[in-house]
Amino acid sequence: MNLRPFWVLCLLLFNIVKGYSQSALLNDSSAQILIGKSLQLYKPEKDMPVTEVRHARFQSSATAIPNMELSTHDVWARFTVTNPGKHTEHLLKVANATLDEVELYVFAGEQLTDSILISKQQPFGNRKYKDPNYIFDVHVLPGTTQTFYLRIRSKMPIILPVYLSQPQQQLIETAKDYLFSGTYVGIVIIMVVYNFFLFLSIRDKSYIYYVFYVLGAGFTQVGLKGFTFQFLWPGAPGFENISIVLFACISGIAALLFTLAFLEIRKHFRRLHLLIWAFIGSFCLALAFLPVNANQAFQVMQLATMVSSIGVVLLSLYIVIKKPAIASARFFLVAWSVLILGSVIFILKDFSIVPYNLGTTYAVQIASAIEMALLSFGLANRINTLKREKEQSRLAALRIAKENSRIIKEQNVVLEQKVKKRTEELESKNQEIATTLADLQQTQMQLVEAEKMASLGQLTAGIAHEINNPINFVTGNIGPLKRDVDVLFQLINLQEELSTRNISDDEKMQEANRFKEEQDFDYLKTEIGHLLRGINEGATRTAEIVRSLRIFSRLDEAELKLADINEGLESTIVIVNNLLGHTKVIKHYGNLPLVHCYPGKLNQVFLNIISNALFAIGEKFGESPGGELTVTTSFADDQAFIAIGDNGTGMTEETRRKVFDPFFTTKDVGKGTGLGMSIAFTTIQKHQGSISVTSEPGKGSIFSMQIPLNAIGNLT
C-alpha cells in the first residue's frame, strides 16, 4: 500500500491548522514552479534578526509575484515546501537581479540549520551558481515539509518572482535569458556602430546623442538583468550598486539632448527648449545624489524618467499636430510610445494584471529594441529629408542663377555706359586730385623750408651773438696792442740812434733807461702779455664755436654714420648759448658708444626740443634766475636713451596729446610754425626709435627719446 499521498494530505492539513498559507509542492517534473501565492510577507519598520522575525505576523501574498515596493529596511518572505516526490535536490530562484542582497534561512523545527547569503556587496565570483539571479540550494527530503525564510534588501522596488525547479530546468531558463539578452545586446551594438559611423560621415550631433542614448539604455537594461555585474565588472560590487542609476541618468540626458537636436526644438519651439533642459536638470540632480545616497538617487532618477518620458511623448505629439511637415516627429512619437507601452506592460506584470511570462519579463527590452530601430529609421529618414532639401535648394539656386544671368546680361549694356561715363568723371577727378596733391606737396616743401629757415634764422642769430663777443674781445685788444708795439718800435729806434752817437756806454744806458721810465716799460710788458692772452682766448672761443657749428650742422653727412650723441648735444647747447640767460644747464652724460645715425638730423631734433624748453623756462622765470635745463643720456640693450627736461611752464594734458601734431603751437603768431616737434617726431621714427613727453602744468616737461645703437634704412 502506498502511504505517500496520505502523508502529504496530513502535512497539508497540519499546515492549514497552523494558519500558514498553502505550502509549495515540489514535483519531479522539469517545469519551474512559481510559488508567489505560497509566500507569506513581512515588512518591518526596522531591521530585525531572523529569530525575532519568526514570531512576527506575516501576511499571505495575494499575487503570484509579490510587489513590496520601496523599503529602507530588510523585508522578509516565509514559505513552506512539501516534497511529495522522490528528488531531494531542488533550486530556489529569486528572479530579480536588481535586488541588493538575498539571504535564505533554513529551519528544522525551532532550530536554524543553515543560512546562505548572496549579496552585491560581494564579488560575483563568490556565488555558487554563476547566474545574475539569486539561486539557492533547497534540500527537502521526500515526504517531508520544510520552512524557509528569505531576507531581502534593495534600493529599488522589491519585486519577488520566486521559483522552485530542478537543476536541469534552471539551466534551460538561464539559456533563455542569455538568448533574449544576447539578442538585445546585438541590436544595441548594431545601432551604436551604424549610427556612430553615420556621425563620422555626416557630423550631425543628433547621431552622437543617439549613440550615447543607446549605450546608456543598453547598459541599463542589461544591468537590470544582472549581466553587467556578471560579465563586465564582477569584481567591483561597489560600482555595481550605482551602475544602473548612473547609466539610466546618462541614457536619460542623452535621450533629451537627442530630442532637442532631432526635433530641432530650439529652432521651432524656443519655450519648449527650456522644458527639456529642466528635465535634463532633474537627471543631473539624481547624479548629484548618487555618491551620497543611492536610494534617494534612484527615486529621483525614477521620477525624472517617468516625467520626462511622458513629457517628450506629449511634446512630440504637440509637434506632430503643430508642424505636421516634420516627419521626424512622427517617428519619434511612435518610438517613444512603443517604449512607454513596453514599460507599462512590464509594470502591469509586477502587479499580476498581465501574465508573468518571458514576453512580459522582457517587455522593456523588446520595446527598447523596437524604439531604437524606429529612431534609427527616423535618423535615416532625416538624411533623406536633408538630401531632398539640398536638392531642392540646388534647383532653386540654379533657377536663381539663370535669372541672375539674364538680368546681368541686360544690365551689362547699361553698366558699361555708366562705367564709361563714370570713368571719364574719375579721370577728371584724378587730374584735379593730382594737381591738388602737387600743390600740397609744394606747400609742404615750402612749410618745411620755412621751418628750416626759421631754425636757420634762430641759429644765425645765436651764432652771430656768440661769435661777436670773442671777436669784439680780439678787436678791442688790437688798438692797445698796436700802441704798445709802437712804443717797442720807438725803443728799438732809440737803441739804433744811440748806437751811432759818440758817447760813452753809461750815457747810452742812462738815455735808454730814461725812455723806459717815461713810457713805463714794466707796465708795458705786462699789458702786452695781457692783451695777447685776451686775443688768444677770443680766437680759441671763436674756433670752439665754429667747431660746434660744424658738429651741429653735419651738412655733408647724408648717410648713416657713427656719431657721438653727447658731442652733438654739447654742440647744440653751445649754439643756443645766447638763449640760456640765467638758465642753469645740468648735464648727466652717460658713457655712450658711437651711435649709427644721421647726426645732423638728430642735432636738429635736439635744437628744436632745447629751444622749446628754453622758451618755456623764459615764459615762467623771465629774466630772473631759477630756470634749469637737464640733459641726460644712457644706453642699455642696444638702445640709446636721451632725456631733455626743463622746469618751465609745462603743458596741459590736451597740449601734451597734440604736441607732435603738424602746425600745432602754443607760441604767439610769428614766433613758431608748429612744425618743429612734428619734424622731430618723424626724424626719431625714421631712426626706428620713439619719442614721448611727460609734463605737468607749472612744473615742467621731459622729452624722452630712444633710438637703436645700430639704425638701418635711409632717411629721406
List pLDDT tens digits, range 700-710. 999 999 999 88
pTM score over 0.75: no
The amino acid occupying position 619 is E
What number of CA atoms fall less than 13 Å from residue 85's CA on the CB side?
16
Nine-digit cell string for 111? 532550530
pLDDT at 10 > cutoff 50: no
pLDDT, residue 687, reads 87
Q: Please tell me the predicted confidence (pLDDT) of residue 352.
A: 63
| Amino acid, res. 589 | Y
Q: Is the pLDDT of residue 556 over 50?
A: no
**Residue 629 to residue 625: CA distance in whole angstroms:** 12
C-alpha cell at 96: 530579480
- Give the per-residue pLDDT at 175: 87
The average confidence (pLDDT) of the chain is 80
Q: Give the chain's length.
A: 716
- Cell 520552512, located at residue: 147
The answer to whether 82 touches 8, Cβ cutoff 8 Å, is yes
- What integer is the mean pLDDT of 270-294? 89
Per-residue confidence (pLDDT) for residue 546, from 0 to 100: 65
Establish how many alpha carbons lie within 13 A of residue 158's alpha carbon, considering only the half-sphere containing its beta carbon. Answer: 23
Average pLDDT value for residue range 643-650: 92
Q: At 512, is the pLDDT very low, low, confident or very high (cuts 50, 70, 90)?
A: confident
Phi, psi (degrees; rounded to nearest 5) at 682: -65, -40
Band (6; pLDDT cuts 50, 70, 90): very low
% of residues, the chain, pLDDT over 70: 81
CA dist list (Å): 236 to 77, 187, 232, 500: 28, 26, 9, 146
- Over residues 126-166, the pLDDT tens digits come to 999 999 999 999 998 888 888 999 999 998 889 999 999 88
More confident residue, 481 or 452: 481
pLDDT (average), residues 342-359: 70
β-strand partners of 204 = none
The pLDDT of residue 449 is above 60:
no
The answer to whether 148 and 104 have CB atoms below 8 angstroms apart is: yes
Would you place residue 716 in the very low, low, confident or very high pLDDT band (cuts 50, 70, 90)? Answer: very low
- On the question of pLDDT at 377 being above 70, the answer is yes
CB neighbour list of residue 350: distance below 8 Å, 6 or more residues apart: 65, 67, 157, 159
Q: How far apart are CA 302 and CA 220, in angstroms?
A: 13
pLDDT for 714 beyond 60: no
Matching residue, cell 515526504: 143
Instruction: List, in order of start, the domains of the chain with CATH numbers.
Output: 4-165 (2.60.40.2380), 176-389 (1.20.1070), 435-550 (no CATH), 554-708 (3.30.565.10)
Render 615-670 in DSSP notation, one character per residue.
HHHHHHHTTSS--EEEEEEEEETTEEEEEEEE-SS---HHHHHHTTSTT---SPTT
Residue 18: what pLDDT? 38
Query: Rounded to an integer, what distance in angstroms lies between the CA atom of residue 647 and that of residue 212?
Result: 76
Angstrom distance (rounded) from CA 444 to CA 436: 12
**Cα–Cα distance for residue pair 706/256, rounded to 1 Å:** 64
